[in-house]
Amino acid sequence: MRWFSSLDPVLQAFLLSLFMYAMTACGAFCVFFSKRIGKSVLTLLTGAAAGIMIAASFFSLLLPAIDYETPLPSYVTVTLGFLLGGAFIVLSDLALSRSKRFFTGAGDRKNALLYFAVTLHNLPEGMAVGVAFAQCAGAEGAVLSAVLLAVGIAVQNFPEGMCVAFPLRAQGMSPCKSFLFSQGSGAVEIPACVLGALAATFIAGLMPWALAFSAGAMIAVVCSELIPECFGGNKTLASAGVVAGFCLMMILDIALG
């Protein structure tokens, strides 16, 4: 961990973005073994990912953002940044919904919208990790907190890769093409992560805004995608996953961060 903490924040962000992408690819790779995945397992994993991301948004992003000194009161900066992040996801969802007219078949339309939605939502997730590493300033505890945020997003990426690959496979696409499309949705996190770290590193005043923006975007993603997805099935499993994921991230962030 000391070696990793000594690295440049941009390099740290890049390395963890590769791990996050790899988890998406691993989830997508499951399409080579089956056309379907157990719904209970997917519900539990998605719920846990939602809990991890909610906790990470507060402990790893909002709390550090509040501690920064800005010309405006911290609560104003954090609130505005959070609202902008949430609005970005909401407006993106609206744009995707209105794009339905560009697709003909119902199955094709649903899969295309799912793919675009997942790809789009991976951008603020990658940026959140990049910003988290940029604000570490080499502190080992803060670096660990950023690593935990990346791990939380990576956990979510595994079932996310499945959620893109399996519907494509069910529509008749070959396993190889389903895998390639699905892993591509996670690849956008790599440049987003690096750009987030670069921007926050070289523009110091951007840091609290970027942290709050990333938190708002992540919460909006959880509310619009993960929570409806997991609670559409077994609510008991979904609730257990959310609580377990939140507790895990909270304990690790507080105890080790």
Give 78-99 pLDDT, tens digit per residue: 999 999 988 988 887 777 666 5
Q: Give a yes or no: residue 122 inside a domain.
A: yes
Which range, of 98-107, 182-191, 237-246, averages the lowest pLDDT?
98-107
Lowest mean pLDDT among 132-146, 171-185, 195-209: 132-146
Range of the domain at 88: 9-26+37-256
pLDDT of residue 25: 92
Residue 41's pLDDT is 74
Indicate the residue type of 28: A
CA-based nearest residue to 180, from 158, 156, 164: 164
For 148, the token pair is: 């935990």
User: What sign does the dihedral 201-61-192-70 (CA atoms) show?
Assistant: negative
Torsions phi, psi of 189, nearest 5?
-65, -25
3 domain-assigned:
no
CB 31 within 8 A of CB 166: yes
54 secondary structure, DSSP code: H
**pLDDT tens figures, 179-238:** 988 888 889 889 989 988 887 777 767 778 877 887 888 888 788 877 887 888 788 888
Look at the chain and report how many structural domains it folds into. 1
Given a cut of 50, whether residue 56 has pLDDT beyond it is yes
Q: Is 195 part of a structural domain of the chain?
A: yes
> Is residue 4 in a domain?
no
